């Protein structure tokens, strides 16, 4: 199975979702390199609050890089260029938040997100993104609640880490 790409979704939904976090989405032409891409084309790139994607960029990649922006501290956000850095706890929070945000994109959602994350090669102790999300992500939930990115009901609040 191939992962869902930005060409496969209503692109305006991604833009609207990320507008809530002050992230500006830039669509890169097909033959151009994606600025700020850590893993290289076609993966999403991030420079400060600018997310760069092409039609062939996986949606999970666009959400993942955006969630790094949301979850990092203000100093790192101001200097963000390609390498998001962060620690283990933040990476878990990013993965969890990206799964929650996937539900806001028609034709994507967490069921497809789990498949795409596993297909791409995200690794979790329990062997799959779904099992991690459902059985082993309490630390990520606590982290996101602590920074007021989600509430106790796991609803996204539209806040970035302060």
Would you call 48 exposed, middle or buried from its count of C-beta atoms within 10 A (0-12, 13-18, 19+)? middle
Residue 124 has pLDDT above 90, yes or no: no
Starting at the earlier edge strand, list the strands of the sheet with 50-53.
24-27, 50-53, 45-47
Residue 1 pLDDT class (50, 70, 90 cuts): low
pLDDT in tens, 41-83: 999 999 999 999 999 999 999 999 999 999 999 999 999 999 9
Specify the pTM. Answer: 0.96
pLDDT in tens, 141-161: 999 999 999 999 999 999 999
Q: Where are the domains of the chain?
A: 6-146
């Amino acid at each position: 199975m191939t992962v869902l790409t930005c060409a496969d979704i209503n692109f305006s939904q991604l833009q609207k979702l990320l507008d809530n976090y002050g992230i500006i989405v830039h669509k890169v032409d097909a033959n151009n390199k994606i600025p700020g891409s850590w893993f290289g084309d076609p993966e999403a790139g991030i420079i400060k609050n600018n997310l760069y994607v092409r039609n062939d960029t996986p949606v999970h990649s666009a959400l993942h890089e955006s969630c790094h922006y949301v979850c990092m501290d203000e100093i790192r956000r101001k200097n963000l260029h390609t390498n998001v850095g962060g620690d283990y706890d933040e990476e878990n929070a990013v993965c969890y938040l990206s799964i929650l945000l996937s539900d806001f994109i028609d034709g994507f959602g967490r069921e497809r997100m789990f498949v795409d994350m596993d297909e791409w090669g995200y690794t979790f102790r329990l062997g799959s993104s779904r099992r991690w999300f459902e059985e082993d992500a309490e630390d990520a939930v606590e982290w996101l609640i602590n920074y007021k990115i989600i509430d106790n009901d796991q609803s996204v609040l539209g806040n970035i880490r302060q």
